[in-house]
Amino acid sequence: MNERGNFVKQTLERILHFPIEVVHFVGIGGSSMSGLASILLENHIPVTGSDMQDSLYMHKLKERGAKVFVGHSGDQIPTNASLVVYTAAISKDNPELLQAAQLGIPMMERADFLGVLTRAYPKTVAVAGTHGKTTSSSLIATLLYEGGLDPTVSVGGVVSTFGKNYRVGSGEYFVTEACEYVDSFLKSTHHIGIILNLEHEHVDYFKDLDQVKDSFRRFAEIVPADGFLIVNGDSPDVLDAIDDLDRKVLRTGLEPGNDYQATDIRYDDFGKPTFKVLRKGVFWQEFTLNIPGEHNVRNALAAIACADLCGTDPERMAASLKTFSGAGRRFEHKGTAQGITVVEDYAHHPTEVAVTIQACKNYKANRLIVVFQPHTFSRTYHFFDQLVEALGGADHLIVSDIYSDREKNTYPLQQEDLANAVRDRFSIPSVHLSDFAAMEDAVAELAQPGDFVLIAGAGTINKIIPGILEKLNNKTF
């Protein structure tokens, strides 16, 4: 075991007050859980786990030496397990949790375990915000890695720089997403805290914007006196949340007065921006991104500020950003078939949908065809009008059934309501389809050379992409 691996194991044992032999993950196939499990594996800590569905993450874990199972059963818990880690989506009557309780094995929710892991690194960088966490975390990880700081990384998507959703380094930095849902990010111990933006979101937990602000303030208060906060200086809500907070703060944004300000933004034919950065009001460096949209200029500013704070050379940053191709499911180019471009994005909140559609509009294309999967009944109901407004930027719209893996529909909401409302308000072709195969057929029939197809949503809608590309390639024009 290398020096860092020994340190991680010893730190976990010191914090938890018991020896770590085997860690079992219930829900191991998720993007965050699989990354955490992989970090332990590369630190030579044995891992087992289970998930209800097989996945690429599961196969990768097997290749790395984990023993994983499809489906949940009490007999899958190793008798020598030191700890069981489970996701928030796992019910308390899960057979593996019941078995762990019977065996007296300590159990810990994912956010708590991530919080423990952040304490194993002296300079954790925690990236918070309603939107953009995965992309910004991936950007920071890339800049620190290519700047020679050798970070450990755990993010919610595949980072193009590494080809996976995690990285184990020997340096003192640990870069991770800090999710606000159920206040998970308050379990983190971070030296640098980043707040990208702040909106009322996760309405099944946060009752209003004031509660969200209160949570983000408590996240900011975790930063120690010798640490730093990097915040969106263009957001009145973010600034309100940290008002009068006694911490070192760096502000980023497009408006004058920010410590890092992007100016002179221009886009190429593929919607990719070039911009100048003023540091403390003085020209500092020009950057070109390989990912599109103004929202990614803002994400990049936070990453640039963080990397500069950590001592990375600006010219090195510029070279890294020019080649960084994004994170998985974040404006990810999935293929071009007969002149038709297909892109996938994780957008599910109306703000995310709006900025993603705007990024598509910066791309030189004939028409924008959007396939959207609403995510959770509560979000669709509470943000219905905002979703309608955001989706109105499409030229053609296909809306799937609402994806909701954690709640039932207790709202006066029908599956076809969103598509009907967009059609009525904007007079654009807009349909609701429940069947994935029917969606593939609809896109293949509609799309023409020069069109741009956006597949958007945080659920399972990406499953239609291979079928769409196959049918487009087989189409005769």
Mean pLDDT over each residue of the chain, to the nearest integer: 94
CATH 3.90.190.20-classified regions of the chain: 332-473
Known catalytic membership, residue 460:
no
Check the annotation: does 341 bind a ligand: no
130 is in an annotated binding site: yes
Give me the mean pLDDT over the 458-462 stretch.
Answer: 92
Homologous superfamily of the 3-108 domain (CATH): NAD(P)-binding Rossmann-like Domain (3.40.50.720)
Beta bridge partners, 278, equal 261, 283
Residues present in the chain in total: 477
Once rounded to an integer, what is the mean pLDDT over residues 429-452?
97
Segment 13-24 mean pLDDT: 93
- Tell me the pLDDT band of 56, cut-offs 50, 70 and 90: confident
pLDDT at position 2 is 53
- Indicate the helix (H) or strand (E) that contains 278: strand 273-279
Of 342, 338, 358, nearest to 350 by C-alpha is 358
CA–CA separation, 401 and 418 (whole Å):
10
Distance of CA 347 to the CA centre of its chain: 10
pLDDT of residue 375: 95
Gyration radius of the chain's alpha carbons: 22
Mean pLDDT of 181-202: 93
Q: What is the pTM of this model?
A: 0.85
Q: Which residue has the higher pLDDT, 222 or 202?
A: 222
Is residue 4 pLDDT above 80, yes or no?
no
3-state secondary structure of 11: helix
Which listed residue (96, 146, 177, 332) is catalytic?
Answer: 177
Q: What is the pLDDT of residues 288-307, one digit of tens each?
A: 999 988 999 999 999 999 99
What pLDDT does residue 53 have?
Answer: 87
Comma-separated ranges of CATH 3.40.1190.10 domains in the chain: 121-323
What per-residue confidence (pLDDT) applies to 248?
Answer: 97
Active-site residue, 172 included: no
**Counts for the chain of helices (H) and strands (E), in that order:** 16, 21
Q: Please tell me which residue in 48, 96, 124, 133 is annotated as part of the active site.
A: 133
- Smallest CA-to-CA distance from 85 within 12, 11, 27, 10 is with 27
What is the rounded CA–CA span in Å between residue 426 and residue 107?
A: 51
- Rounded Cα distance between 290 and 321, Å, is 7
The residue type of 90 is: I
Decide if 134 is catalytic.
yes
293 has binding-site annotation: no
Residue 135 counted as an annotated binding residue: yes
pLDDT in tens, 391-400: 999 999 999 9
Every domain range in the chain assigned CATH 3.40.50.720? 3-108
Q: What is the pLDDT of residues 332-383, one digit of tens each?
A: 999 999 999 999 999 998 999 999 999 898 888 899 999 999 999 999 999 9
Fold classification of 332-473 (topology level) = Protein-Tyrosine Phosphatase; Chain A (3.90.190)
Task: Read off the pLDDT of each residue in 75-86 and give the average, rounded to a whole number.
Answer: 96
User: Would you say 396 and 453 are in contact if contact means Cβ atoms under 8 Å apart?
Assistant: no
| pLDDT tens-place string over residues 204-231 | 889 999 999 999 999 999 999 999 999 9
Task: Report the Cα 471 to chain-centroid distance in Å.
Answer: 29
Q: What is the mean pLDDT of residues 66-83?
A: 96
- Yes or no: say if 392 and 425 are a contact pair by the CB < 8 Å rule: yes
Q: Is 132 annotated as a binding residue?
A: yes
Q: Is the pLDDT of residue 319 over 80?
A: yes
Say which DSSP state 443 is in. H
Select which of 124, 134, 161, 356 is catalytic: 134
Residue 161 φ then ψ, to 5°: -60, -35
Q: Which residues of 47-57 are buried (b: 16+ CB within 10 A; e: fewer)?
A: bbbbbeeebeb
Smallest CA-to-CA distance from 274 within 284, 263, 258 is with 263
- Cβ contact 47:23 at 8 Å: yes
User: Annotation-wise, does 274 bind a ligand?
Assistant: no
Measured between alpha carbons, how far is 383 from 89 in angstroms, rounded to an integer?
Answer: 23
Pairing of strands 228-232, 192-195: parallel
Describe the crossing of helices 417-426 and 384-391 by its angle, rounded to 10 degrees.
50
- Write down the CATH number for the domain with range 121-323: 3.40.1190.10
